[in-house]
Amino acid sequence: LGHFEIKGHNEREYFCTYKDINVFKPEKIYEYEANQFAAELLMPERKIQEIMKRNPFNMETIELISNSFATSITSAALRAVKLTPDSCAIVVSSDNRVLWSQKSRNFRYTLKTKGQTLSPNTCAADFFIGKDVPDQSEIVSPYGWISDPGLPNDFTLLEHSIYFPNLNMVLSLITLPEKDDYDLDIDEFDNE
């Protein structure tokens, strides 16, 4: 729909593959613009903001957005991360490697980049080796997802990952825990 409504998309016909439709980064500009148009059309910012004001920012809220607007969990997660004031990110991985990521405007850390192998200190990596992963947020070492050196000793992340077996992909929501939510010593984690 975006191709027909966006000025400059002048082709008579567009053939969008599954891979094209799942372009969430501006690598293919026409597909990216069409996806952005569809996201606003299907998940209006005002409606998403209303849901996020009433609910904590977590995977359950993303699933609520997905179900409320009949969209994929991945597109709902991307939309929510782009609109939230919270410090968070999503990372999509396949075959134990990062495919792409999106940070919220307040997430100031450097994420692992496209093509990097997942750290064994992530729940996402556990999916690819067949381990059972709880359907909830887990406290993880920041070095599993963040490549910034010199993080504070008490710094941890929360990771909630969902595996899509038919796509061999994992969607991970990375958030910062509230200080009161944990009492964990970071020394038990390996600094990679």
Q: What's the pLDDT tens digit per position in 96-139?
A: 999 999 999 999 999 999 999 999 999 999 999 999 988 999 99
CATH of range 87-192; options 3.40.50, 2.60.120, 3.30.450, 2.60.40:
3.30.450
Q: In this structure, are residues 58 and 49 in contact, taking their beta carbons and an 8 Å threshold?
A: no
Q: Give the span between the Cα atoms of 10 and 154, in whole angstroms.
A: 53
User: Which stretch of DSSP H or E encloses residue 162?
Assistant: strand 157-164
What is the pTM assigned to this prediction?
0.76
Residue extents of the structural domains in the chain: 87-192
Please tell me the distance from the alpha carbon of residue 158 to that of residue 151, in angstroms, as a whole number.
15
